[in-house]
Amino acid sequence: MRRTFVILALLTLGLLSYALYEGLVAAPTEQTMGEVQRIFYYHVPSAVTAFTLFLINFAASIIYLARRSPTADALAVSTAEVGVVFCTVVLVTGPLWARPVWGIWWTWDARLTSTLLLWLIYISYLILRRYSTSGQTPVIAAVLAVFGFLDVPFVYVANRLFRTQHPQPVYFGGPGSGADPRMTHALLMNMAAFFCFAALVVWLRFRLERARQDFDETEALEALLQPDARSPR
Amino acid sequence: MSLGEITRVSLAKDLRLEWRSKDAINSMLFFALLVVVIFSFSFDPTAEESRHIAGGIVWVAFLFAAVVALNQTWARELRNQVLDAYRVSPAPANALFISKAVGNFIFVAVLEALMAPLFMVFYNLRSIGPAYELVVVAVLATWALVANGTFFAAMSIRTRSREVMLPLILFPISIPALLAMVSATTAILTGEGAYRFWLVLLVVYDVVFTTVCLLLFETVLHAE
Amino acid sequence: MKFLYAAYAATWIIHITYLAFLSRRYRRLRDEMHDLRKK
């Protein structure tokens, strides 16, 4: 386990560095937007990673509801938290890209709004987990996760129609649309790098959660086995 | 007793209690009225523009009012340990859910029926599209809010700041439905826009989430 | 373009903040385990 982790960490570090170089230097500059377009190489992989993490959260929640395995629950909370982190990155890099390109910080276009809603849904999941006083928090959280994820297609569809009725800025003029292969390469490298990075962080969070689960159980058992202060005579 | 009978009995009980005390209806009504008045300070409801924003304001008002009703859905059951009793009884869990959801639906529907004429007056509304379509939208929209709301209210029973937790988990998930109901209403009032699409979205939303609620309610009931 | 650097920097600041938050929770768990063992 330990060795796999170190290998993954080194691989991630390598990929991230290489991908950074690719994105910032090697990939050609985009015609219409200029250098700022390079934010794309961080923005899009983060979005894809966040979505994948939420998908895993959905699967883990369902498995938890079926099997009640603590491993599934640990995976669920880990992917939700790390997913929210990546989603935050998307929501921060988005406006930073939009401002120089379109002149506005935010636009209620379909994609950004959907991402914001995704973020809100999973934040509400994390808040529920923190504020729940029930002994069965993982069950309730898992149920909410199911609702949340099932909502995602609705969010996307609803926003697509709603926002296309209003004039909106064109998303991007060039990269990906039959574009330069070096751009695609940079994008794919960054995708791979961030996927590995996400796996690493989820692993760390997962281990923490499992340790916390074991500890809480041990603590509870200790408390139960304590000799009673008012010992039976 | 069968599912239908239990549902009916439970629903009748809730309606009778509400009829006698009129707790929920009164607070909902007043709250909705307040929201409308406060919004009137933010937008100037002149005749032409008001048609475009009225849909949004109406549903925001109903949403907040519905939350008032939803928050007290399970309060009585909690106070009297009814949920524990229900858990150990052989009664199907869904009967409880359906009766609560339908009860809430009736409360909010009554609210909407009372508030609709008021809205017409305040915003000088005259619907351009056929008015019966508004009723269709109202039924579907109200069910969307109330079904999920009743379910989430059960989920938030054992949380700190219960009254805040319910809207917190309900609103993000309801946003597609809210978007649909506002857009559909606006489409009917202004006579432009893809009314059919929003209607279909609402129907699909209702079907999907009602199914999920029915499938998972027993789990939630036992998880308290 | 300074927006480009801001975006890349923001990304890593967010990730590092989360990792710091994680390491604080690890430390707290370890402290609690020590306390329990002492008892």
Question: What ipTM goes with this model?
Answer: 0.91
Yes or no, beta carbons of A140 and B169 under 8 Å apart: no
Q: Which pLDDT belongs to residue A173?
A: 42
Q: Which residues pair with B218 in a beta bridge?
A: none
Q: Which pLDDT belongs to residue C35?
A: 87
Per the CB < 8 A criterion, the answer to whether B32 and B65 are in contact is yes
Q: Which pLDDT belongs to residue B46?
A: 66
User: Is the pLDDT reported for residue B129 higher than 50?
Assistant: yes
Q: Quote the CA–CA distance of B149 and B147 in Å, as a whole number.
A: 5
Q: Is A30 helix (H, G, I), strand (E, B) or coil?
A: strand
The CA distance from A63 to the nearest CA of chain C, in Å, is: 25
Give me chain B's average pLDDT, please.
87
Q: Which pLDDT belongs to residue B26?
A: 87
Q: Which of A83-92, B81-90, B201-210 has the lowest mean pLDDT?
A: B81-90
A66 touches chain B (CB under 8 A): no
Cβ contacts (< 8 Å) between C11 and chain A: which residues? Answer: 42, 46, 89, 92-93
User: Is the pLDDT reported for residue B193 higher than 50?
Assistant: yes
Yes or no, beta carbons of A158 and B220 under 8 Å apart: no
How far from the centroid of its chain's Cα atoms is residue C16's Cα? 6
Yes or no, beta carbons of C14 and A201 under 8 Å apart: no
Cβ contacts (< 8 Å) between C8 and chain A: which residues? Answer: 20, 24, 39, 42
The CA distance from B15 to the nearest CA of chain A, in Å, is: 28
Q: Quote the CA–CA distance of B79 and B157 in Å, as a whole number.
A: 11
Four-point Cα dihedral C22, C24, C29, C33, nearest 10: 140
Minimum CA–CA partner of A116 in chain B: B172
Cβ contacts (< 8 Å) between A65 and chain B: which residues? Answer: 216, 219
Four-point Cα dihedral B192, B197, B199, B203, nearest 10: -170
Q: Return phi, psi of residue B159, to 5°.
A: -140, 155
**Which of C11, C26, C33 lies at the smallest CB-CB distance from A42?**
C11
Yes or no, beta carbons of C11 and A92 under 8 Å apart: yes
With b for 16 or more beta-carbon neighbours within 10 A and e for fewer, the A211-222 pattern comes to bbeeeeeeeeee
Q: Which chains touch B (3 or more CB pairs under 8 A)?
A: A
Closest by CA to B221, choosing from B68, B38, B98, is B98
Of chain C, the end-to-end C-alpha distance in Å amounts to 58
Q: Which of A142-151, B50-59, B163-172, C13-22 has the lowest mean pLDDT?
A: B50-59
Yes or no, beta carbons of B205 and A131 under 8 Å apart: no
**Pairwise pLDDT comparison (C12 vs A183), residue with the higher score:** C12
What is the arithmetic mean of pLDDT over B151-155?
A: 93
Entry pTM = 0.89
Yes or no, beta carbons of C11 and A46 under 8 Å apart: yes
Q: Which pLDDT belongs to residue B139?
A: 95
C39 touches chain A (CB under 8 A): yes
Q: Which chains touch A (3 or more CB pairs under 8 A)?
A: B, C
Q: Which pLDDT belongs to residue B74?
A: 86
A56 touches chain C (CB under 8 A): no
Question: Are 3 or more Cβ–Cβ pairs between C and B shorter than 8 Å?
Answer: no
**Which of B176, B216, B220 lies at the smallest CB-CB distance from A154?**
B176
**Which residue stretches of chain A have pLDDT < 50?**
166-167, 169-176
The CA distance from A8 to the nearest CA of chain C, in Å, is: 16
For residue B99, give every residue at least 6 positions away whose Cβ sits within 8 Å of its Cβ, in sequence order, or none: B6, B7, B8, B9, B10, B11, B14
Residue that is written with structure tokens 């250098």 in the block: A35
pLDDT category of residue C21 using cuts at 50, 70 and 90:
very high
Q: Which pLDDT belongs to residue A182?
A: 80
Contacts with B, A 139-168, CB within 8 Å:
139-140, 143-144, 146-148, 150-151, 154-155, 157-159, 161-162, 165
A88-97 per-position pLDDT tens digit:
999 999 888 8
Q: Which pLDDT belongs to residue B47?
A: 59
